[in-house]
Structure 1
Amino acid sequence: MTDPRRIAYQGEPGSNSHAVCAQHYPDWDTVPCASFEDVFAAVTSGEAELAMIPIDNSLAGRVADIHHFLPESGLYIIAEHFLRIRFHLMALPGTTLDQVRTVHSHVHALGQCRKIIREHGLTAVISGDTAGAAREIVEAGDPSQAAISPPMAAPIYGLDVLAEDVEDEDHNTTRFVVLSPDFVRAPAGNGPVVTSFVFNVRNIPAALYKALGGFATNGVNMTKLESYMVGGEFIATQFLCEVDGHPDEPGLKRALEELEFFTTDVRVLGVYPADPWRA
């Protein structure tokens, strides 16, 4: 019997990243990591075969730091998954809601669950991680403390759920990407495909306009374009771009060829199946 394969994620057991791993890789062992750097290191060192990384959230926007780490990680995007973000209010077994005085969670989760906090007059306490907040409640052993954590955290830490789905918005969704040390390229002609790549524009007037023109003239739909500085220089800008389509398709192939005329570096980070959620 072979050992199960391993997938790394940032956060503690019961986090949203853990939940999406369990949903799409149920037979794999999960490797929780304290930071995104540790997640990348786990894969590059061979401790884990894959990594699950959040890259965008429908409310909070792009996940900080990932866009800096990803291009230099040496890893490739081989899949994407979307997770509807849900939060439950949970506390020690036997606790009632009227006993709770403080609620613990990550700062983003607290900001996304303001209604229940305000409705019950709770004091928000910032934790480093949503699932970690559940662990902290157990360690404190204080029935006046509750956690706003993903549903998966309650059975892991043995907590009672006092209120389900306490998030303010029901469209809160996070996009995750799966990273591999191997460039696993999705085949062309087998359903919708996303191509992700980074590039640096030449330092000439209208370089970005000219670089992107080929995608418009070739009918390629661009779904993401984000810029960030590299090397600590204000004049050095790198762009992360995502488009619908496969590089072997004539339109995208021509657009990428035109892109190279106005850029100093084009690196494809992944050619992978589009998640059905996009439809």
Structure 2
Amino acid sequence: MSKIYFQGTYGAYSHLASLEIDAKAEIIPCKTFDECFLNASNEKNSRIVIPESNRITGNIGIEYLIFKYRLNIYSEHFQKIEHNLLGQKGAKLTDIKNVFSHAQALSQCSNFIKKNNLNEHVRADTAGSAEMIAKNKKRDEAAIASSLSAETYGLEIIKKNIENEKGNLTRFLVMGKELTQPEFSNKKYITSFLFKLKSKPAALYQSLGGFAINGVNLTKLQSYPEKNSFDSFFFLCDLDGHIEDKKVQKSLEELGLHCQDFHVLGVFEADPIRDKKL
């Protein structure tokens, strides 16, 4: 049986995403993102399911681990995020005074929290908050978490879908040590890579010219400082297309002339949800 590692505890949105990706896999929680990456680096047949960005609140902040471990990206998965207020069995909304969750979940439900005058408490993750209030058994405490967390820890859903905006999605990356990529055919692909430019004036401007000339669309370009540095940056980039497409090849060859470091992270099919209007 293949393994999937995720960060958090059972009932987390990463657990929910892992079940949707491969319900037959052995799904194992890790305390930290670093632990997830380390396990996948040491085990050939394992995968990790890692949240990369949220549609509303932006990046999750795991870019430095992508740069450090350089695991292969096999696919992307967009998980619908539906936040629920979870409490003790029989508790009502009027009983709740204190709400616990991850900082992003609290931010994504800020309107509901303010409207009901709740005291918010930041915790490491959503499912861990649900587990904590289940152990505390206090009627005035609630957690913001998934419906899976309610099932996992025997809590009641006091209020469903309390997020500020509907259609909230988190993009997850499925990654592992083995290098694989789909054959080039008539489908929509994403090529993901990282690069570090040579230190020279206008390096970024010059390096991106090849994409414009060859008509290749960049869907993501983000810079991150190297460890212990404020003057050396690497870039994470996604583009529309397969690396075997001649337009993409020419663009990347042009980019390579300006790079000190270049690494392809993965080629994978674009999730069909990208084409849907939510």
Alpha-carbon distance, 1:10 to partner: 0.6
2:221 matches 1:225: yes
Indicate how the Cα distance of structure 1 residues 74 and 222 shifts in structure 2: closer, same or farther if over 3 A, else same: closer
Alpha-carbon distance, 1:143 to partner: 0.9
The answer on whether the counterparts of 2:43 and 2:177 sit within 8 Å (CA) in structure 1 is: no
2:156 to 160, 166, 169: 160
2:132 matches 1:122: no
The answer on whether the counterparts of 2:57 and 2:108 sit within 8 Å (CA) in structure 1 is: no
1:54 to 32, 51, 54: 51
Q: Which secondary structure does the structure 2 equivalent of 1:43 belong to?
A: helix
Alpha-carbon distance, 1:46 to partner: 2.1
Aligned position for 1:99 = 95
CA RMSD of aligned residues (A): 1.3
The letter of the residue matching 1:23 is E
1:185 to 165, 181, 188: 181
The letter of the residue matching 1:247 is I
In 2: Cα distance, 1:47 partner to 1:237 partner: 30
Aligned position for 1:7 = 4
Q: Which secondary structure does the structure 1 equivalent of 2:147 belong to?
A: coil
In 2: Cα distance, 1:179 partner to 1:83 partner: 16
Aligned position for 1:242 = 238
For structure 2, list consecutive stretches of 5 or more residues without a partner in the other structure: none
In 1: Cα distance, 2:239 partner to 2:122 partner: 37
1:37 to 34, 39, 45: 34
1:19 to 8, 16, 20: 16
In 2: Cα distance, 1:157 partner to 1:151 partner: 10
Indicate how the Cα distance of structure 1 residues 47 and 60 shifts in structure 2: closer, same or farther if over 3 A, else same: same
1:258 to 239, 254, 261: 254
Indicate how the Cα distance of structure 1 residues 157 and 29 shifts in structure 2: closer, same or farther if over 3 A, else same: same
Deviation per CA, 1:91-127, whole angstroms, max 9, x where unpaired? 1112122221111111211111122222222211222
In 2: Cα distance, 1:175 partner to 1:276 partner: 13
Q: How many residues align?
A: 275
Aligned position for 2:75 = 79
In 2: Cα distance, 1:224 partner to 1:118 partner: 34
Alpha-carbon distance, 1:33 to partner: 0.6
In 2: Cα distance, 1:243 partner to 1:227 partner: 15
In 1: Cα distance, 2:133 partner to 2:227 partner: 42
Deviating more after overlay: 233-242 vs 210-219: 233-242
Alpha-carbon distance, 1:48 to partner: 6.5
Q: Which secondary structure does the structure 2 equivalent of 1:152 belong to?
A: helix
Aligned position for 1:132 = 128
The letter of the residue matching 1:46 is E
2:35 matches 1:28: no
Indicate how the Cα distance of structure 1 residues 47 and 273 shifts in structure 2: closer, same or farther if over 3 A, else same: closer
The answer on whether the counterparts of 1:76 and 1:270 sit within 8 Å (CA) in structure 2 is: yes
The letter of the residue matching 2:89 is P
Alpha-carbon distance, 1:47 to partner: 8.9
Alpha-carbon distance, 1:201 to partner: 0.9
1:272 to 226, 246, 268: 268
The letter of the residue matching 2:262 is V
Q: Which secondary structure does the structure 2 equivalent of 1:234 belong to?
A: coil
The letter of the residue matching 2:154 is G
- Identity of counterpart residues, as a percentage? 35
